[in-house]
Amino acid sequence: MFLLLSSIVLTLLLLVALSKNRKPFYDGHSLPPAPWPHLPLVGSLFCHPPTMASLVVVLRRLHAAHGPVVSLWVGSKPAIFITCHDIAHRALVHMGTTFAHRPATWSSGLNSHGVNSATYGNRWGLLRRNLSSHLATAHVTGVLRSSTDKLVKNLESASAGEDDGVVVAPSETFRHAVFGFFAALCFGEGVGEDTLRRLRGLHAEIIPLIVELDAFHLMPVFLQVVCYFPRWRKLLSAQRRHHVLVTTMISACRRRREEGVGPDVAQPRCYVVTLLGLGLGEDEMVSLCWEYMNASVKTTTTELEWIMARLVLHQDIQQKLRKDIASRRASGNHTMTCGGRRRRPFVEAVVLEALRLHPPAHYLLAHTTDKDVTLDNYMIPKGSIVNFSVASIGRDATLWTDPDVFRPERFVEGGEGSGVRCTTGGSDSGPETMKMIPFGAGRRACPGAGIAMTVLQSFVEDLVRRFDWIPVASGVEASIDMAEKPGIITEMRVPLRARLVTVRQNDVLL
Ligand code: HEM
């Protein structure tokens, strides 16, 4: 017994010593600092409970101690975390092809055939071009109109008849509207309510079962097996039911198209129809549909909730927005400045400011490199997991005045954010265009950024035009908790509640 114990202790000491003395990768270039000890096979997470909340705490401590580039060890691989916009710009834009890769994943779940998980290469290029061109050519006006009408009607029926309004918790109504909008673009407009409800139910069942830390590739495989085995059985069962439902929806879409029936026949092609044209297998199509809905719904819904929470909190900005909407509609949406350039509508400034302060994804999806590179004097070994902190860049006090203050005016002409673009792609774009990256930057930047901006602006505009959003209690600050719930998508810890008063048609200046 004594011999056994001694050999375990000796082995552990040896492993600690080995990990402590890990040599820099190349002469003169050290690896980004990491907490000690990081044991081979187990990594830094050995010392911390593997949750998103603990990851946030660990990273905050590490960055405070070591600066903008730090690492955690996942088994024998470094997972590097970058918080500085200059370094992120260099990696994602200047060294774009090197950093355009995604770490390999061993799981064979719903995400395995998506654009996001595709190896940077021909297949990725084909799928991404297909998605981008579908989104660019989708005629969203009609679908958007009917989705916002339904959203407004649902909220109106809740607040009708009460002069001083009704308290609502609108998250669920938002989710329903956003889901309906993207489902119509993905599967066509001919899908019945019951099928959509079942699909939504399956998404709601599957998402909480997905291991969040897996998104950062932070859980060594064997730890995942040990910690998460029980939930895998549930996940597999839900995925099987999702597969059956989505293949049925795909077949129905194909049939409607072939037979020339249903409301979507005259519409531009939905996403499923574009996929049918690529000659993909069933699993690939189901995975791509899952990705489409998964990537779009929670991000957009969460952002909508943050925006409306901000507008409840800042009544002056809500009034200013309502006036801007009214004057633009009165002038037939003419938003040119005297120099002939397009003026950014205030609603766009509001959405951008919310995305800066409350990006739904606090980190980009994990990237990796196809070769050893040096970045900020640190060696990034080939195959490292590289994570970019969206939230830190948006709230960086060296880039933004009063970064914690919600001030959409910074995005109007002449403001410090007026030159910022939502996604920065070309190598000619300078770091000043990349002062925030809610949709990423470079080759892997979100292909849905444009449509997400359109949806958010349209929903916010209608919500503000049709309702007064008032704090539930007096004492504005006290009534809304702006705390965050850490996750792959950072939601409000306490869902928004607000008093809604319908704006009478006569009072609407439009
Ligand atoms: C507010 C809404 C959205 C936000 C904040 C958002 C954010 C992001 C972010 C941060 C990334 C990772 C970029 C990187 O790793 O460099 C991403 C990737 C992606 N997003 Fe979005 N997204 C949104 C909406 C959408 C929509 C509407 C779609 C499609 C319908 C979409 C599809 C994708 C796909 C396919 C990728 C992977 C791209 C690739 O790997 O090449 N997203 N998104």
Ligand 1 atom nearest to 135, measured from its CA: 30
Question: How sure is the predictor about 14, in pLDDT bands with cuts at 50, 70 and 90?
Answer: very low
287 touches ligand 1 (CB under 6 Å) = no
128 touches ligand 1 (CB under 6 Å) = yes
Residue 27 vs residue 423, higher pLDDT: 423
What DSSP character marks residue 389?
B
Question: How sure is the predictor about 44, in pLDDT bands with cuts at 50, 70 and 90?
Answer: low
Ligand 1: residue whose CA is nearest its atom 17: 446
Nearest to 206 by CA among 276, 124, 286: 286
Q: How far does the centroid of ligand 1 lie from the alpha carbon of residue 446, in Å?
A: 4
Nearest to 42 by CA among 229, 221, 210: 221
Helices 140-159 and 449-466 pack at an angle, to 10 degrees, of 40
Question: How sure is the predictor about 145, in pLDDT bands with cuts at 50, 70 and 90?
Answer: very high
Token digits of residue 320: 């200013």
What DSSP character marks residue 355?
H
345 touches ligand 1 (CB under 6 Å) = no
Question: How sure is the predictor about 18, in pLDDT bands with cuts at 50, 70 and 90?
Answer: very low
Ligand 1 atom nearest to 444, measured from its CA: 41
CA distance 212 to 93: 27
- pLDDT above 80 for 150: yes
Contact, 52 vs 211, CB < 8 A?
Answer: no
Residue 467 vs residue 212, higher pLDDT: 467
Residue 11 vs residue 86, higher pLDDT: 86
> Which strands form 77-82's sheet, in the order they lie side by side?
69-74, 77-82, 385-388
Question: How sure is the predictor about 510, in pLDDT bands with cuts at 50, 70 and 90?
Answer: very low
Ligand 1: residue whose CA is nearest its atom 15: 365
Q: Which residues are 491's β-sheet partners?
A: 485
Domain residue limits, the chain: 2-507
The string of DSSP codes covering 185-251 is HHH-TT--HHHHHHHHHHHHHHGGGS-GGGGGT-S-HHHHHHHHHHHHHHHHHHHHHHHHHHHHHHH
467 touches ligand 1 (CB under 6 Å) = no
Amino acid in position 26: Y
Question: How sure is the predictor about 210, in pLDDT bands with cuts at 50, 70 and 90?
Answer: confident
Nearest to 366 by CA among 228, 490, 207, 213: 213
- Model pLDDT, residue 475: 64
Nearest to 102 by CA among 75, 126, 121, 127: 121
- pLDDT above 90 for 328: no
Percent of the chain with pLDDT strictly greater than 70? 79
170 touches ligand 1 (CB under 6 Å) = no
Q: How far does the centroid of ligand 1 lie from the alpha carbon of residue 445, in Å?
A: 7
Residue 139 vs residue 323, higher pLDDT: 323
- Model pLDDT, residue 294: 94
Ligand 1 atom nearest to 367, measured from its CA: 15
Q: How far does the centroid of ligand 1 lie from the alpha carbon of residue 309, in Å?
A: 23
Q: Which residues contact 125 (CB under 8 A, 6 or more apart)?
A: none
What DSSP character marks residue 391?
H
Question: How sure is the predictor about 21, in pLDDT bands with cuts at 50, 70 and 90?
Answer: very low
CA distance 272 to 250: 7
Percent of the chain with pLDDT strictly greater than 90? 55
364 touches ligand 1 (CB under 6 Å) = yes
Q: How far does the centroid of ligand 1 lie from the alpha carbon of residue 141, in Å?
A: 21
CATH architecture for segment(s) 2-507? Orthogonal Bundle (1.10)
Question: How sure is the predictor about 269, in pLDDT bands with cuts at 50, 70 and 90?
Answer: confident
- Give the pLDDT confidence of 406-420 residue by residue, as tens digits: 999 999 988 999 888
Amino acid in position 113: H
361 touches ligand 1 (CB under 6 Å) = yes
Q: How far does the centroid of ligand 1 lie from the alpha carbon of residue 357, in Å?
A: 18
- pLDDT above 80 for 222: no
- Give the pLDDT confidence of 368-388 residue by residue, as tens digits: 999 999 998 899 999 899 999
391 touches ligand 1 (CB under 6 Å) = no
CA distance to 225, 257, 280, 283, 462, per residue, from 108 (Å)? 14, 31, 17, 11, 41
Question: Does 289 appear as a known binding residue?
Answer: no
CA distance 263 to 256: 9
Question: How sure is the predictor about 440, in pLDDT bands with cuts at 50, 70 and 90?
Answer: very high
Tell me if the pTM is above 0.75: yes
360 touches ligand 1 (CB under 6 Å) = yes
Of 187, 424, 446, the one to substitute when testing ligand 1's pocket (max ligand atoms within 8 A of C-beta) is 446
Q: Angle at the Cα of 315 (from 141 to 338), degrees rounded to 5?
A: 60
CA distance 300 to 302: 5
- Residues counted in the chain: 510
- pLDDT above 60 for 42: no
- pLDDT above 90 for 227: no
> Which of 180-194, 306-320, 413-427 is predicted with the least confidence, judged by mean pLDDT?
413-427
Nearest to 464 by CA among 162, 157, 152, 180: 152
436 touches ligand 1 (CB under 6 Å) = no
- Model pLDDT, residue 353: 98
Question: How sure is the predictor about 428, in pLDDT bands with cuts at 50, 70 and 90?
Answer: low
- Give the pLDDT confidence of 104-121 residue by residue, as tens digits: 876 667 778 899 989 999
Question: How sure is the predictor about 261, in pLDDT bands with cuts at 50, 70 and 90?
Answer: low
452 touches ligand 1 (CB under 6 Å) = yes
Handedness of CA 34, 35, 40, 42 (dihedral sign): negative
301 touches ligand 1 (CB under 6 Å) = no
Handedness of CA 132, 138, 143, 148 (dihedral sign): positive
Ligand 1 atom nearest to 102, measured from its CA: 40
Of 126, 439, 454, 456, the one to substitute when testing ligand 1's pocket (max ligand atoms within 8 A of C-beta) is 439
Contact, 242 vs 206, CB < 8 A?
Answer: yes
Which residues in 380-416 are b (16+ Cβ under 10 Å) and which e?
beeebbbbbbbbbbbbbeebbeeeeebbbebbbeebe
- Model pLDDT, residue 231: 77
Q: Which residues contact 64 (CB under 8 A, 6 or more apart)?
A: none
Q: How far does the centroid of ligand 1 lie from the alpha carbon of residue 119, in Å?
A: 16
Q: What share of the chain is helix, strand, coil (3-state, %, to 5)?
A: 55, 10, 35
Q: How far does the centroid of ligand 1 lie from the alpha carbon of residue 241, in Å?
A: 25
